[in-house]
Each structure stands twice: as C-alpha cells, then as structure tokens.
Amino acid sequence: MIDYSNFSDEALEARLAELRQDHADLDAAIQALALAPLPDLVVIGRLKRKKLSLKDEMARIADFLNPDIIA
C-alpha cells in the first residue's frame, strides 16, 4: 500500500483526477463490451476488478485528503 504522507495535496489531487478518468474510461469500455453480441465475460470481469481497484485507491486518497469526513 502506498504511503500518501510523502505526497503533496496537489499531487494527490492530480492522482485522484487521473484515477477518476481511468475509472470512467473503464466503465465505458465495460458497457461497450457488454453490448457485444457475444460479450467476452473474462475480459469484462478483469476490467471490473481493475475498476474496483481504482475505486479503492480513490477512496484511500480521498480519506487521506479529508480525514475528518466520515463516509
């Protein structure tokens, strides 16, 4: 796991924005693959796991940036 205390808030905000874009891109790719006549469920599963991993990292960064906010 990454120690976010070594990064500036600006760097973490930039990383968070990058992760959000990657998450949205994966969501679009998953939706496009799911609409195929014969969707590749293995690829879709891998993309969903990657998407979940990105979501987890986004949550860790958000918690580090805003430790007082309880979700």
pLDDT per residue as tens digits for the range 4-62: 889 999 999 999 999 999 999 999 999 999 999 999 999 999 999 999 999 999 999 99
Note the pTM of the prediction, 2 decimals: 0.86
Q: How is residue 61 written in tokens? A: 């960064």
Give the separation between CA 44 and CA 31, rounded to whole angstroms. Answer: 9
Cβ-in-10-Å burial (0-12, 13-18, 19+) of 22 comes to: middle
Domain ranges of the chain: 4-64
Q: In this structure, what are the phi and psi dihedrals at residue 46, rounded to the nearest 5 degrees?
A: -65, -45
Triad 52, 54, 57: Cα angle to 5°: 110
